[in-house]
A and B are shown apart, each in its own frame.
Chain A
Amino acid sequence: MAKAIGKVSRVVGPLVEARILATAQMLELVYVGEQRLVGEIVKIDESSANIQVYEDTTGIKPDDPVYGSGMPLSVELGPGLLGTIYDGIQRPLEDIKNKSGAFIARGVESNPLNRTKKWFFKPTVAVGDYINGGAIIGEVQETSLVLHKVLLAPDISGTVTAVVEQGDYTVDSTVATVKTNSGVMEQIKLYHRWPVRINRPHKGKKELTVPLITGQRVIDTLFPIPKGGTVAVPGGFGTGKTMVQQALAKWCDADIIIFIGCGERGNEITDVLDEFPKLIDPRTDKPLMERTVIIANTSNMPVAAREASIYTGITMAEYYRDMGYNVAIMADSTSRWAEALRELSGRLEEMPADEGFPAYLPTRLAGFYERAGYVTNLANTEGSVTVIGSVSPPGGDFSEPVTQHTKRFVRAFWALDRQLANARHYPSISWINSYSEYVEEIAHWWETNVDADWFSLRNDIMDLLQQENKLQQVVKLVGPDVLPDSQRLVLETCTIFKNVFLQQNAFDKIDMYSLAEKQVKMLRIILAFHTGASAAIKKGSTLVKIKKLPVIHEIAKMKFNISNEELDKLDSLLKQVQMAFSELEKHYV
């Protein structure tokens, strides 16, 4: 299939210079040397080209052949993606293990989609139908969780001239034939290829009004994101970025999860691989792995493939979006991706901007985050891609280029805080430095579906947290004793809120996931405590007495004791709190 298009002239690390034919295209996928290492053309000069190679170039010599493929770096999109673990350029790692053993050898080739497995295909088009690019031509039950819609490639449209009966087919058997407008007969298979660096087309973006429910209280209640939104999760090492990403991958209510381990630890990927097949989706009772694709390009795997892994992931996300699904993509971490860009740009001897990063870093970041959105797709259904990108700022310093540029292109920001992590307060999302611009847009959803007071309850607690932050500065200087009880109550309420509501134990069976209803009810109880206590203090009671109320102990334990199934217990707890304070007030009339 591939023919020689040139010869290597210079090798510097992952970058190879070659003299090539003038027909070679920018960003064309090429194979370098007799081992056929995968690479991509990143620069073309009059007679030579720079090739970024996705594998270790040890042993590549001048005059080694370069083979062309005639197409850009692409991924195969079809049934069989779910539950598979790929490297940054969509090579299935399990398959590679079977071929080359525990260590990844170079030049191993493997089809991204299994060519022998048969899928039961049910066509939904008939001969004579005129179909547009992106149309659904049939269905395959990919996993017990996900019905895979077989899509016509977005760049083909025409009249169906033949279609197979329903039955078992492999991914590369022809299931339909389409005669395009220009008269070409296209053989349609269960999969098609799509270049990773090109956005898959859609019919337009919509407003973002439906929240992505994650079951994590600090996120859903304080800093929510909508389906189709973008969020950055920055934090220094050891602040729990990966824990947040994994909790979301486990619990968020997206239909499909794409998890990209970009330049991270090998053992973390192993942990995900061990754990996900055992985890059961609380909504469907099926293993979570059945809705997940994992892309693992660990820190010791080639740097160029790390750069590509982000695009590989988002292209798959767009593909499932085009079927009408809500997809969430977790990229851990985008900083490693930016560093890969920097490394490759340095090898290309490009002029650096901030901290050695190339000047086009912001453009690339923007391009990536803009692929998120809630869209009407070509098949006229609706789907979304939500992007959750973690950022690893050097030294935990948020003023560095990647964090700063990312902030310009995302609308929510979950800042992880080192001090919270040190005190083992997880998730360590800071309530002072984080924000979400989406709150007002999705408030309507909460108010109609969960609780009409959601927006005002949230504002009340945010207000208290801000007050507490100011008071803490006073406390740091003079100690808490000088504050009046009304102000110390603010501190007390916020302490309860932080310990009970914001802290969430990812390993506790009940606490790991909170339904939206539970979150609002818990919040209401804590605020009822605050209202009751302020009134009591105004009437002459003291904080010492209030702290002795037995109901406080109940509040402290409610997240562990009351499961998602018995929320009426929270209603009675609310009554108990109100009762306790009206009892208390009776002494002061």
Chain B
Amino acid sequence: MSDESFSKREYSTTTRVEGPIIAVSGIHNVGYNELVEITDPNGNKRLGQILETAHDLAIVQIFEGTMGLSLQNTRIRFKGHPFELPVTKQMLGRVFDGLGRPIDGLPAPIGEHKMNIYGEPINPTARSYPKKFIQTGISAIDGMNTLIRGQKLPIFSGSGLSHNKLAAQIARQATIRGEDTGFAVVFAAMGIKYDVAQYFIRNFEESGSLENTVLFLNLADNPPVERLVTPRTALTIAEHLAFNENMHVLVIMTDMSNYCESLREISTLRGDIPSRKGYPGYLYSDLASIFERAGIIRGGKGSITQMPILTMPNDDITHPIPDLTGYITEGQIVLDRELAQRGIYPPIAGLPSLSRLMKDGIGEGMTREDHAHVASQLFAAYSRVKDVRALASVIGEEELTPIDHVYLKFGEMFEKKFLTQRDDENRDIETTLDIGWQVLSQLPKEELYRMSEEEIGKYYGK
């Protein structure tokens, strides 16, 4: 059937309106996931999508909400294809709403072709394993939780912590050493405040990278259902830039918690059977369909690196949102409230943070030969610090053994020198590792059991 005949399929047979969902009856030949255009009684257009289709009846979810719709004067047109985004390189430097419509006052860019925003899964045999070290200039990340090109590494934060500042710093500073190509940034905002969005825009402006950035903004007062599409439109243009235009793309998505809330809202309305905390049973699959769109394709030149940000409700890392995210992403950077309250920036928690792809991206020829051992030793020693501090809070510092005292001093120095840095401080990896050694040299040589003799000879106390 041609597109022409599809576009004539217009109905005004709405039978039910509830929340962001309407039911349309008397329809014919409507496909699952099809895009729907709704004209409300005032003549304004809205977009929607088929959630369920049967003979005579379709359930449609409307992205802009259903306020003002009536049974009689609402016209529904089925478009005959799923939600598609026209994509082109010209979208760089532009600002769009959550559905991909321009909101910067300029005309809509003319797409080279249209891509289904739900994408298709990358064939695991077509992937190329990410191995290239991205230098973010932040010691806690580069040294201990290295970001790799093509990785998906989320920031687990809490409300009031400096995740935005950190994400902006990473976007500004991220480089691949030995290559002069920078990153194009695709920024997707879901349900964040206007001033937070402005903070990012200003940041991109100041660093002169705005023309290399595509922004999709769904702010706190925009319709929540729109949020379900925002990360997907963002990733669709990211895929175009990465796999058709051979660019390296960094996708920042904030705040994924708001996305999950919207998903819960819709699934409750649809009467889906809830699993943990009212979130639908398919939350994992749904998040995976977003996060798994990161990666590198074998033989291709571009890549997608994802840095989703989510705020953990009540700082609880076992909450379904961070929990399921952690099972999909390749590690996580966890921000710690206690560190933040002691004025430490970036407040990256040492132990729960992890980069799963780190092992293949560091070492000789990539960073430095001692990197793996430095990181491992820092983790081990800092873990001991935590134990000693717990013990000290029970028996008092005076009762600690001499070696425990040394560890306490190490802990302090680690947090002050290694962890702490200014938000405009861009440390290269050598500096990071040297500071690491400086801090580790607080400990006696025998305690450095994860280092080789050679490394101790070369770097200890230097």
Contacts and interface: CB of A to CB of B under 8 A. Distances in A.
B229 to A, nearest CB: 14
Given A57-B32, A58-B33, A394-B320, A424 B123 contact: no
Nearest to B243: A102
B358 to A, nearest CB: 11
Contacts of A11: 31-32, 52-54
Given A269-B124, A395-B323, A479-B391, A336 B32 contact: no
B275 interface: yes
B274 interface: yes
A298 B121 contact: yes
Interface stretch (A59-67, A113-121, A427-435, A581-589): A59-67
What class of interface size applies to chain A in its complex with B?
Answer: 35 or more
A586 B360 CA distance: 52
Nearest to B239: A103
26 contacts: A11-B53, A12-B51, A57-B33, A59-B34, A60-B31, A93-B124, A102-B243, A267-B129, A267-B330, A269-B124, A269-B127, A270-B127, A298-B124, A299-B288, A299-B328, A300-B121, A336-B284, A342-B281, A346-B281, A392-B327, A394-B324, A422-B383, A424-B376, A476-B394, A479-B391, A499-B449
Interface string A459-480: 0000000000000000111111
B366 interface: no
Nearest to A271: B129
B52 A12 contact: yes
A357 B276 CA distance: 10
B55 A9 contact: yes
Interface residues of B, number: 78
Nearest to A266: B124
Contacts of B54: 9-11, 17, 62
B367 interface: no
Contact of B273 (A100, A356, A424): A356
B194 interface: no
Contact of B359 (A269, A349, A476, A507): A507
Interface in A56-93: 56-63, 85, 93
A296 interface: yes
A59 B32 contact: yes
B176 interface: no
A300 B289 contact: yes
B284 A396 contact: no
A58 B80 CA distance: 11
Contacts of A422: 351-352, 379, 383
B82 interface: yes
Contacts of A171: none
Interface string B349-391: 0011010110100000000000000001001100100000011
Interface in B294-342: 295, 297-298, 300, 317-320, 323-324, 326-328, 330-332
The SS class assigned to the A binding surface is: mixed
A369 B29 CA distance: 44
Contacts of B129: 267, 270-271, 274
A93 B243 CA distance: 20
B399 interface: yes
A273 B124 contact: yes
Contact of B284 (A59, A62, A238, A339): A339
B123 A343 contact: no
Contacts of A273: 124-125
Interface of A: 9-13, 17, 56-63, 85, 93-94, 96-97, 100-106, 236-238, 261, 263, 265-267, 269-271, 273-274, 296, 298-301, 303, 336, 339-340, 342-343, 345-346, 349, 352, 355-357, 392, 394-397, 422-424, 475-481, 499, 507, 556
Contacts of A274: 129
B118 interface: yes
A303 B285 contact: yes
A394 B380 contact: no
A265 B53 CA distance: 31
Contacts of B272: 346
A549 B319 CA distance: 49
A476 to B, nearest CB: 7
Contacts of B391: 475-476, 479
A263 B289 CA distance: 11
Nearest to B317: A395
A346 B280 CA distance: 9
Task: Identify the interface centre among A106, A301, A475, A556: most chain B CB within 10 Å of its CB.
Answer: A301
Given A104-B120, A499-B449, A480 B401 contact: yes
Given A59-B34, A266-B292, A423 B318 contact: no
Task: Identify the interface centre among A9, A59, A265, A274: most chain B CB within 10 Å of its CB.
Answer: A265
A266 B122 contact: yes
A150 B130 CA distance: 40
Contacts of A236: 323, 326
Task: Identify the interface centre among A57, A336, A394: most chain B CB within 10 Å of its CB.
Answer: A394
Contacts of A340: 285
A314 to B, nearest CB: 20
Contacts of B298: 102
Task: Identify the interface centre among B297, B317, B327, B379: most chain A CB within 10 Å of its CB.
Answer: B327
A356 B122 contact: no
Contacts of B284: 263, 299, 336, 339
A270 B128 CA distance: 7
A-B pairs, 8 with minimum CB distance: A395-B318, A299-B288, A300-B292, A10-B54, A356-B275, A237-B326, A102-B126, A103-B120
Nearest to B27: A62
